[in-house]
Amino acid sequence: MYLVAGEGQTERAVAVPFTDPMEANRWLEVIGRRDIPLYLTSIIIQDLGDESVASLLREDEDLERSEFDGNMERQFRPYLDRLVQENEEEDRELTEEELNQLEYEMKLLEYEEALQKRRSAFRGTGLLAWLIFPVQFAIGFWLTRQAELGNADPEQRLYPILLVALSAILFFFLVKWMRWLQIIMFSLVTFISFMFLDFSEIETDPSYQMSSMLLAIAMLSLPVVGLFYLGIRYIRKGRDARNLPPMPGPYQPLPDKDKVGIQSGDHLST
């Protein structure tokens, strides 16, 4: 029996050992007359000199309020048996059925995590699709340089339009999976990259005109890029469906061994 007494902020625990249950019952009867709360505990204290003994007893996860009814065994023995049974259930090995169910739940969790990743437009873009932007910038740089050298008409819209259109088509074909946010991503990254093409601040300079043309087309490309997105999504829907993470089938419990096989009353005939 552990007695915990406190005064102010300090508490002290005292252990009273018993070898005779009847003697322990007499102590509990006296304590019960004083309206002192009684608890059942699973903790066995080895060192009563430790100052944390009182707090350890109070923080016992198996602590259970008890009322003395004349014999401590009537409450303590079922309490102890229940703790032993709970420990045995925690330590026992899982059955084949429980292992199969646990494996199925893990597969469901992995499937949900894979679907969650598919909702990310950035993860779905992939390295190959991102490489479109440096190639697009390099071609835009080349067009601006050609306009500066007089080899390209800076007011000609065909080449800038083809550059943005072909880049968008390749981009959506190369992404790992398609998400609508990639429409905005493509137009925004294209516009930002073309901002670094301007070689001159003079509006009549061919390089300025060409870079302005590329910026204007990038800024106005959002609706057309959206149409490309819808068309390519329809074209590659079969590929995207095949690349979806496999969904686990419905859980199939193991058949009852008692119901499998030939019953004793059955007869075989040839």
Do 123 and 117 meet the contact criterion of CB atoms below 8 Å apart? yes
153 C-beta neighbours (distance < 10 Å), count = 15
pLDDT of residue 268: 41
pLDDT averaged over 10-residue windows placed end to end, the chain, 270 residues: 77 80 84 82 76 80 83 81 74 68 74 74 87 94 89 87 94 90 93 82 81 91 93 86 70 57 44
Measured distance CA(197)–CA(215) in Å, rounded: 9
Q: Give the three-state DSSP class for 4.
A: strand
pLDDT of residue 251: 62
Question: 42 φ, ψ to 5°?
Answer: -100, 0
Could you report the per-residue pLDDT of 67-118, keeping only the tens digit for each?
A: 888 888 777 888 888 887 777 666 566 677 767 777 767 777 777 777 777 7
pLDDT of residue 141: 92
pLDDT of residue 218: 92
Q: Residue 224's closest CA among 254, 256, 253, 187? A: 187
Q: Residue 257's closest CA among 97, 99, 129, 102? A: 97
Measured distance CA(36)–CA(30) in Å, rounded: 10
Q: Residue 186's closest CA among 125, 243, 118? A: 125
Element (H, E) at 78: helix 73-91
β-strands 64-66, 2-7 pairing: unpaired
Q: Give the three-state DSSP class for 65.
A: strand
Q: Give the three-state DSSP class for 214.
A: helix
pLDDT of residue 89: 62
